[in-house]
A and B are shown apart, each in its own frame.
Chain A
Amino acid sequence: MSTKKVIIGVVAAVLVLAALVAGMSAMFTVREDQYACTVRFSQIIDTTDQAGLHWKVPFLDSVRYFSKAVQLYDIPPSEVTTLDKQNMTVDCYVLWQISDPLRFYQTLGTTAVAEQRLDAQTYTAMKNLMSTLAQADIINMEDGAKRNEIYDRIATTVNEQAQTYGINVLDVKIKQFDLPESNLNAVYSRMISERNQMAEKYTADGNYEASLIRNSVDKQVNILISNAEAEAAKLEAEGEAEYMRLLAEAYDTQDKKDFYEFTLALDALKSSLTGDQKTVILDRDSALAKLLMGE
């Protein structure tokens, strides 16, 4: 009797366990950033991109997951040549996403393979586009947002090609464009000589302006002084003229003139005969001689 009970108990337990396991095998969860493909006999029979709880045939079906998230692939820097034969080193990145997991699985299978393919196609698309552009289309003083339009063209081209792999290419952007290493020193030299020229110009302009100021000052000074000299000479001449006029006015009769000459003669006498050792010789008939000799 009890053996039966045990056997029933064990069988019941095993059945419960089996049901549990089967139940668990019939469920699978899908995250928000995943696709889930139900695989039966190594073939994908169903795909879902809905997150949550899903059902499948227990034990028979397996689930393969693919990422639904946006992925970034950073393409290693490469050299491209522009339309005007200029070399540039370009480093870009690709944002991509699996859109059709079945096709992705059939054509590529893994992320690594996908990246390889994207690398090749993006590089080709970019190289081709760059060869239609002059270097001045990349490096110029226009609006920075315009370059995004160029990148969009690359993205569109690569996206079209990527559809056959079940991939959406969402964006391609160049994150770094540089001149090749070999050009760098030439650029530095050019920058240095440009700056030297600017420095020289400042110096020359400064000196020129300074000399203009100085010359102008000197000129003005000369003009001032010579004008003053002329004015002074004029004034002194006026003074002289007035002097003459006053005297002429004063000595207006002949009598006055004679008297004036007389006073002048006396003054001349006085001034010439002061001092030591002066000698005068008088004529015998002169008034003074007569006076002195008592006549």
Chain B
Amino acid sequence: MEESGFYSWKPPKKDPPAGSRKWILPVVILGVVALVAALALSSSFYTVDDKQQAVITTFGQVTNITDAGVHFKLPFGIQQVHKVDVNVYQTIELGYRTDASGDYQVEASESTMITGDYNIVNVDFFVEYKVSDPVQYLFSSNDPELILRNLIQSQIRNVVGSTSVDAVLTDGKESIQMQVRDLVSQLLEEYDIGLTLVDVKIQDSEPPTQEVIEAFKAVETAKQQAETVVNDAKAYQNAKLPDAQAQADERIQNAEYLKQRRINEAVEQVAMFQAMYEEYARNPEITRQRMYYEAISQILPGVRVYIDTSGENSDVQKLLPLESLVQTGAAGSPAEGSDQG
């Protein structure tokens, strides 16, 4: 018999070596399990530092709040950790910004405001707040800091808008700070966004433009100058009055002295006269003559003496010159005086 001519040979079916397939599968399963376990482990613990609290949500619902330390949770996103800084004072700057190097940048639009007496001022505020309720902070609003910032701005303008410009610029700052603090705290409680206000401080307050600042300074200068002028007048008073008092006293003292002196003159004169009179009274005629000649002897040494020898009926005046009795001692001879026409 003739055949087709091809002979195909099929190799016998062979079973794969016993044991090799069995060996791979457990290894793979072990590997997967190990991987899953590792993943589970890494997502099932967390740490909280002491400035924070952690809010734990299970399937989105708040179930726990934990403090500082290491904690465990369910892995794979069943439980999630939301950490919140609760023990830290946060700050808000209004009207200015502090940049990285510590310098101030002015934000005029935030700081310009109207006062209760229709004046305009620039006031910068420094605000401190902190998280009071981490759950509310996380979930009650979608931007609690922004809400707080806007609330503060509105209450600041409420208070400053009811204050006089002089109070804002000088002595009313404490009061403004307190009022803003009270209003914001009260409203913050109503808002309930998990934040609480710690402090409000006025950083700086001044008039709006350079010219206005100059005008305010000019008032202070005028005030001081006015004080100086008044003080000068008081100094004048303090100098002049005592001086005049002294003059007046001196004048009176002097007058007393003069009065006394006049009286003493009189007393002296009277005493002298009394003495002379006593003597005179004893021998009046002799005393008279004596005194007379004493006087004459005092006078004559320096005097020229003429004797009028013309009689009563004489038409011609004749004068006899005499030398001084005392000095020359010789009586002068009578001589004709010159005719007087």
Interface residues of A (CB under 8 A from B): 29-34, 50-53, 67, 69-72, 74, 92-93, 95, 138-145, 147-148, 151, 170-171, 173-179, 184, 187-188, 190-192, 195-196, 198-200, 202-203, 205-207, 209-211, 213-214, 216-218, 220-221, 224-225, 227-229, 231-236, 238-240, 242-244, 246-247, 249-251, 255-256, 259-260, 262-263, 266, 269-270, 273-284, 288-289, 292-294
Are the C-beta atoms of A273 and B299 separated by less than 8 Å? Answer: yes
A-B CB proximity, top 4 nearest: A206-B226, A239-B259, A232-B255, A228-B248
Are the C-beta atoms of A30 and B302 separated by less than 8 Å? Answer: no
Interface string of B259-288 (1 = CB under 8 A from A): 111110111011001101100110010001
Q: Which residues of B contact A147 (CB under 8 A)?
A: 158, 161-162
B140, B154, B331: the one within 8 Å of A174 (CB) = B154
Cross-chain pairs A/B with CB under 8 angstroms, 25 sampled: A32-B60, A32-B135, A52-B58, A70-B193, A71-B143, A74-B150, A144-B155, A144-B159, A145-B158, A148-B183, A151-B154, A175-B150, A179-B114, A198-B219, A213-B237, A214-B233, A225-B248, A243-B263, A246-B267, A263-B273, A263-B276, A266-B292, A270-B298, A275-B302, A280-B304
B92 close to A (CB within 8 Å):
no
A217 touching B240 in the complex, CB below 8 Å, given contacts A51-B60, A250-B273: yes
Are the C-beta atoms of A260 and B273 separated by less than 8 Å? Answer: yes
B57, B208, B263: the one within 8 Å of A32 (CB) = B57
B106 close to A (CB within 8 Å):
no
**Number of chain B interface residues as a range:** 35 or more
Closest partner residue, chain B, to A77 (CB atom): B109
Are the C-beta atoms of A266 and B302 separated by less than 8 Å? Answer: no
Q: Which residues of A contact B62 (CB under 8 A)?
A: 32, 51
Interface residues of B (CB under 8 A from A): 57-62, 112-114, 116-120, 135, 138-143, 146-147, 150-151, 153-155, 157-159, 161-165, 179, 183, 187, 191, 193, 207-209, 211-212, 215-216, 218-219, 221-223, 225-230, 232-234, 236-237, 240-241, 244-245, 247-249, 251-252, 254-256, 258-263, 265-267, 269-270, 273-274, 276-277, 280-281, 284, 288, 291-292, 295-296, 298-299, 302-311, 319, 322, 325, 331
Q: Which residues of B contact A207 (CB under 8 A)?
A: 226, 229
B12 vs chain A, min Cβ distance (A): 18
A31 touching B114 in the complex, CB below 8 Å, given contacts A232-B255, A235-B256, A269-B299: no
Q: Which residues of A contact B61 (CB under 8 A)?
A: 30, 32, 50-53
Are the C-beta atoms of A93 and B150 separated by less than 8 Å? Answer: yes
A52 touching B236 in the complex, CB below 8 Å, given contacts A139-B114, A202-B223, A243-B262: no
Taken together as a complex, chains A and B put the C-alpha atoms of A177 and B156 apart, in Å, by 11
Taken together as a complex, chains A and B put the C-alpha atoms of A188 and B214 apart, in Å, by 12
Taken together as a complex, chains A and B put the C-alpha atoms of A95 and B296 apart, in Å, by 132
Q: Which residues of A contact B179 (CB under 8 A)?
A: 144
A76 vs chain B, min Cβ distance (A): 13
Q: Which residues of B contact A213 (CB under 8 A)?
A: 230, 233-234, 236-237
Closest partner residue, chain A, to B261 (CB atom): A239
Are the C-beta atoms of A246 and B270 separated by less than 8 Å? Answer: yes
Once A and B bind, how many residue pairs between them come within 8 Å at the CB atom? Answer: 320
Closest partner residue, chain A, to B58 (CB atom): A52
Are the C-beta atoms of B273 and A217 separated by less than 8 Å? Answer: no
Are the C-beta atoms of B161 and A178 separated by less than 8 Å? Answer: no
Taken together as a complex, chains A and B put the C-alpha atoms of A213 and B305 apart, in Å, by 72
Closest partner residue, chain A, to B208 (CB atom): A188
A192 touching B240 in the complex, CB below 8 Å, given contacts A51-B61, A95-B191, A147-B158: no
Taken together as a complex, chains A and B put the C-alpha atoms of A174 and B157 apart, in Å, by 9
